[in-house]
Amino acid sequence: MTTAPSIATVPLLIGGRLEPSTSDRRGQVFNPSTGHVQAEVPYCTREEIDRAVRAASDALPAWSETPAVDRARVLFRFRERIQARFEELAALVTREHGKTIVESRAEMQRGIEMVEFACGIPSLLMGQAL
């Protein structure tokens, strides 16, 4: 007798923290290559949605006051994290979108290039005078 593999439930990300949903409603995530269910996502409760929106709203004032150069530093750190986990992230793209690993690596590289472009925005904002 074999047991069915357990299916992971995708957690919520609210205020920078991962947490399980309290909702009992779920949607299935299918592997596009096999058609098998590979995970479930919660259909959030009204309270969870309100908390997520409130956390984002609360974070906006401080972020909007953050100078562009400091924002670019955050993006540089993000780029480093993407590069450090490049193969793992490419494998996730393959699993979630059914792409070949070569296509997923190219997509990851393009994503890194977009982050690098965003890192250069402070230079573009300078214009003729700082």
- The verdict on 82 and 122 lying in the same domain is yes
Angle between helices 101-119 and 86-97 (to 10 degrees): 120
Q: pTM of the prediction?
A: 0.75
For residue 84, the enclosing domain spans: 66-130
Q: How do residues 43-91 score in pLDDT, each as one tens digit?
A: 999 999 999 999 999 999 999 999 988 999 999 999 999 999 999 999 9
Q: Is the pLDDT of residue 126 over 80?
A: no
Measured CA distances, 127 to 28, 61, 68, 116, 123 (Å): 49, 25, 14, 19, 8
- The verdict on 60 and 72 lying in the same domain is no
Number of domains into which the chain is organized? 2
Output the pLDDT for position 15: 95
Helix (H, G, I), strand (E, B) or coil at 37: strand
Q: How do residues 42-52 score in pLDDT, each as one tens digit?
A: 999 999 999 99
- The verdict on 22 and 38 lying in the same domain is yes
52 within 8 A of 16, measured Cβ to Cβ: no
Q: What is the mean pLDDT of the chain?
A: 91
Helices in 36-100 by DSSP H: which ranges? 46-64, 68-84, 86-97
- The verdict on 4 and 55 lying in the same domain is yes
